[in-house]
């Protein structure tokens, strides 16, 4: 049963936003310890307890688990609600007819109940973090749940999805510090434009179906060639934001290696997906973007700590 629900919410897709949440979390720890200064001016050896004691403290570990719990419950609620709301369309689309609700593996009622339970858990967990996260938790849920409706009335649905996932780095930073700051916001804009861009690529698979059902998407609205152009522009913006974050934060060589890999994966996915050849969309969607987020996170944290 657990396996069915993990499949329902595509738990493996957590790989997209979670690395950026971890970036936001550790940047928050750094800011809390040293203040809002460029990372180039940080003390050396911050992994040592004498310089960065909060990283291994019980309170930090508890906060980390709370942030992780918020990430999992918010995303699970959003995905389950999307599957619940789109169940009739999923049953009609050959690509999605194998999903859990159309196949009868999970009932619509259970999917909705799963959504509600995760929403409650998300709000409860945010209460234990700090007041600002608790007060903003309904707003976050409104965004991530509201995305599921947008395909019914606007081709900008990809942007709304990007906004939902972009809450990860700034939300994790807020959990640690309790205030907003420019650096995590730059990372949030990088996520927004990155996710929006690759979601457009993913939507190329359903152009004809979306048009037949009067559903909205950039590919269904503009056609495949122009949609890929829009995706390229969004990924160019995402590259700009990660570069801007690096310059503003004063990061070092490890960060810039991560940037090179991240941008390289964006270029790669556009090189393998063509308007008349969508055979490698899944490779672009899952593999290229999974590598982009995880490898980028590894190099950002390496630069921060070493």
CATH of domain 2-305: 1.10.357.140
DSSP string, 83-139: HHHTHHHHHHSTTTTTSTTTTTSS-HHHHHHHHHHHHHHHHHHHHHH-HHHHHHHHH
The mean-pLDDT minimum among 134-138, 192-196, 270-274 falls in 270-274
Give the count of alpha carbons within 13 A of 76, CB side only.
23
CB 33 within 8 A of CB 57: no
Going by C-alpha positions, the residue among 105, 107, 39, 45 that lies closest to residue 247 is 39
CB 287 within 8 A of CB 306: no
Q: Is the pLDDT of residue 140 over 90?
A: yes
What residues contact residue 65 under an 8 Å CB cut-off, 6+ apart? none
State residue 306's pLDDT score: 80
- The percentage of residues in the chain with a pLDDT greater than 90, rounded to a whole number, is 76
Q: Is the pLDDT of residue 50 over 50?
A: no
What does the pLDDT look like over 200-245, one tens digit per residue?
A: 999 999 999 999 999 999 999 999 999 999 999 999 999 999 999 9
Output the pTM of the full model. 0.93
CB 281 within 8 A of CB 201: yes
Please say whether the dihedral angle defined by the alpha carbons of residues 249, 255, 167 and 129, taken in this order, is positive or negative.
negative
CA 50 to the chain's CA centroid: 34
Domain locations in the chain?
A: 2-305
d(CA 27, CA 42): 12
Q: What is the mean pLDDT of the segment spanning 267-280?
A: 91
First-to-last C-alpha distance (Å) of the chain: 43
Would you mind telling me the total number of residues written for the chain in this entry? 306
Structure-token pair, residue 197: 């861009």
Going by C-alpha positions, the residue among 80, 68, 54 that lies closest to residue 128 is 68
């Amino acid at each position: 049963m657990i396996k069915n629900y993990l499949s329902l919410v595509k738990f493996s897709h957590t790989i997209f936003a979670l690395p950026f949440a971890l970036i936001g979390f550790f940047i928050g720890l750094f800011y809390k310890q040293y203040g809002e200064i460029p990372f180039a001016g940080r003390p050396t050896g911050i992994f040592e307890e004498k310089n960065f004691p909060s990283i291994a403290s019980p309170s930090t570990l508890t906060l980390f688990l709370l942030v992780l719990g918020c990430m999992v419950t918010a995303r699970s609620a959003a995905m389950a609600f999307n599957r619940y709301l789109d169940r009739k369309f999923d049953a009609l689309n050959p690509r999605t007819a194998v999903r859990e609700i159309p196949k009868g593996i999970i009932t619509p009622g259970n999917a909705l109940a799963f959504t509600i339970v995760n929403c409650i858990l998300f709000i409860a967990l945010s209460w234990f973090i700090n007041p600002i996260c608790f007060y903003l938790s309904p707003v976050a849920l409104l965004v991530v749940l509201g995305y599921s409706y947008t395909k019914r009335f606007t081709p900008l649905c990809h942007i709304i999805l990007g906004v939902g996932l972009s809450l990860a780095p700034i939300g994790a930073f807020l959990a640690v510090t309790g205030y907003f700051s420019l650096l995590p916001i730059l990372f949030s804009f990088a996520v927004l434009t990155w996710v929006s861009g690759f979601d457009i690529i993913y939507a190329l698979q359903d152009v004809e179906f979306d048009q037949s059902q009067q559903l909205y998407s950039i590919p269904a609205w503009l056609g495949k060639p122009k949609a890929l152009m829009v995706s390229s522009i969004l990924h160019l913006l995402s590259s700009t934001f990660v570069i801007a974050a690096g310059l503003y934060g004063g990061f070092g060589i490890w960060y810039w290696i991560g940037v090179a890999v991240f941008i390289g994966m964006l270029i790669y996915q556009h090189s393998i997906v063509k308007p008349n050849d969508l055979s490698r969309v899944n490779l672009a969607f899952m593999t290229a973007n999974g590598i982009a987020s995880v490898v980028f996170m590894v190099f950002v944290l390496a630069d921060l700590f070493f």
